[in-house]
Structure 1
Amino acid sequence: MKLFLTSYGLGGHDQLLVDMVDKPGARMAIITNALDAFPIEAQQAYWKIKPDFLMEMIDLGFDPSLVDLRRFFGRPADLARVMAPMRLVWAVGGNSFLLRRAMRDSGFDALLPDMLADGIVCGGVSAGACVMSEDMRAIALMDAPEERAPGYATDDPIDRGLGLVPFTIIPHYRSDHAEAEGAENGVAFARANGIAHVPLRDGQVIVRRGDAIETLPPRG
């Protein structure tokens, strides 16, 4: 299993991500569903201010495509065909609970174990890292679990993540970020309820390779 999870950006560990994928020109799926609650105009604005990320991925040698899991709700076989050539899957930030529901309703969460066994690298930033946790209850202090968005059949909250790390990832902890206060509240909740957690500052990266999990400080 190979995971590359961040609070914000790549933390200067760009080459590590390239080395983990270990395939020049690798296809990359960028999952956008954490942004689904934003109006389309706001999502378009998001990508207008994020071309540096797409260009960074291209400069690192990846071939990125944006993937909206809503297109595959109830169509897991079609999603499997789209994901088959991908060697890196990256989930962007936004609402963790919307992203988790999209992964469930599309069948992505059922597909992911086989993808990881095949050597794919699964990465994510902010909400994209939170959904890798076992227990997402502390994240409800940062994101609205009942968030609604077009294309979803239900708004039922999910408080269990994918369980790919044995703790809750709480991003933006003590960082210069709008969600830093929510992160403090999330950490306090986790401590009060005995939930294993890792507060992640912006620039830090959690890397999992096999059974080994480490938190790396920012570089540069």
Structure 2
Amino acid sequence: MRLYLSSFRIGDHPDRLLGLLGAGPGEIAVIANAMDSAPAEVRRAGVELEMSALAGLGFRPRELDLREFFDRPGGEVDSVLAAFPAVWVRGGNAFVLRYAMARSGADAALIARLREDSIVYAGYSAGACVLAPSLGGLELCDVPRHVTETWGGEPVWDGLGILDHAFVPHVDSPGHHETELCGRVAEHYRANGTPHRTLRDGQVLLIDGDEAGIKAGII
């Protein structure tokens, strides 16, 4: 299993992301559905920002919009994902992203690909948070009702369960507007005995087979 999970944006260890691929940068699917509840122009600008950053590392990024696979026969998104050796899942609202993954079938497809180690999963903030066993606690920083307001459906509270702990980004990161809210999430997890990791912006949780640890960056 290969994961590159950053607190914010690419983080301070892009060399380790490239190292997970072995063959060097190639095509990478960009999943930006965590921004689906944002105005269209804001979402579009967010996608372009990710595309530019990844292209700067030598990748050939292409958006994989999970909305195109809503309520379509199972396996379609899996077939499209099969063409990519890596996926980049950007931040935004974790509940909105998780709903899109569930309704498109991307959750099952990604879990299968990760378990067979045929894809690198990389991303930040919400893109990492959805890998936890549960999204419980994230309502302190993200708004679950945005799922209903956007699609009329109910939020999905189960995470993908790839990680055995919660992921809390932006902690002790004074330059980020959500650092206080994420600090409250971490406090909630500590008070309830929920296993979790906290990351400052710049830090990355890197998992490569048996290797797991927080790679500290310069804030």
Spell out the pairing of 1:30-109 with structure 2 (5 A cutoff): 30-47=30-47, 50=49, 53-75=50-72, 76-109=74-107
Deviation at 1:25, TM superposition (A): 4.7
SS class of match (1:147): helix
With over 3 angstroms needed to count, the CA separation of the structure-2 counterparts of 1:15 and 1:47, relative to structure 1, is same
Cα shift readout 1:76-120 (whole Å, capped 9, x = no counterpart) = 322122111101111111100010111111111111133121421
Cα shift readout 1:141-178 (whole Å, capped 9, x = no counterpart) = 11012213787351x12222111111110111010211
SS class of match (1:148): helix
Deviation at 1:208, TM superposition (A): 1.0
Contact kept? 1:13, 1:219, Cα under 8 Å:
no
Aligned-partner Cα distance in 2 for 1:190–1:56: 32
Letter in 2 for 1:40: A
Letter in 2 for 1:54: M
Contact kept? 2:2, 2:120, Cα under 8 Å:
yes
Aligned to 2:13: 13
- Tell me the TM-score normalised to structure 2 length: 0.91
Spell out the pairing of 1:117-128 with structure 2 (5 A cutoff): 117-128=116-127
Contact kept? 1:54, 1:64, Cα under 8 Å:
yes
Question: Mean alpha-carbon deviation: is it higher for 105-114 or for 55-64?
Answer: 55-64
Letter in 1 for 2:3: L
Question: Mean alpha-carbon deviation: is it higher for 127-136 or for 53-62?
Answer: 53-62
2:166 corresponds, among 165, 168, 175, to 168
Contact kept? 1:203, 1:218, Cα under 8 Å:
yes
Spell out the pairing of 1:128-167 with structure 2 (5 A cutoff): 128-148=127-147, 152=151, 154=153, 156-167=154-165
Give the share of equivalent positions with the same residue, in percent. 37
Structure 2 unaligned runs (5+)? none
Contact kept? 2:10, 2:123, Cα under 8 Å:
no
Structure 1 unaligned runs (5+)? none
Aligned-partner Cα distance in 2 for 1:197–1:118: 24
Aligned-partner Cα distance in 2 for 1:56–1:99: 21
Cα shift readout 1:10-55 (whole Å, capped 9, x = no counterpart) = 222111111101223521110010000011122234345x2xx423
Question: Mean alpha-carbon deviation: is it higher for 197-206 or for 16-25?
Answer: 16-25
Aligned to 1:199: 198
Question: Mean alpha-carbon deviation: is it higher for 113-122 or for 79-88?
Answer: 113-122
Contact kept? 1:4, 1:122, Cα under 8 Å:
yes
SS class of match (1:136): coil
Q: Quote the RMSD (CA, aligned, Å).
A: 1.9
Letter in 1 for 2:124: V
- Tell me the TM-score normalised to structure 1 length: 0.91
With over 3 angstroms needed to count, the CA separation of the structure-2 counterparts of 1:119 and 1:153, relative to structure 1, is same
Aligned residues: 216
Contact kept? 2:12, 2:203, Cα under 8 Å:
no
Contact kept? 2:111, 2:160, Cα under 8 Å:
no
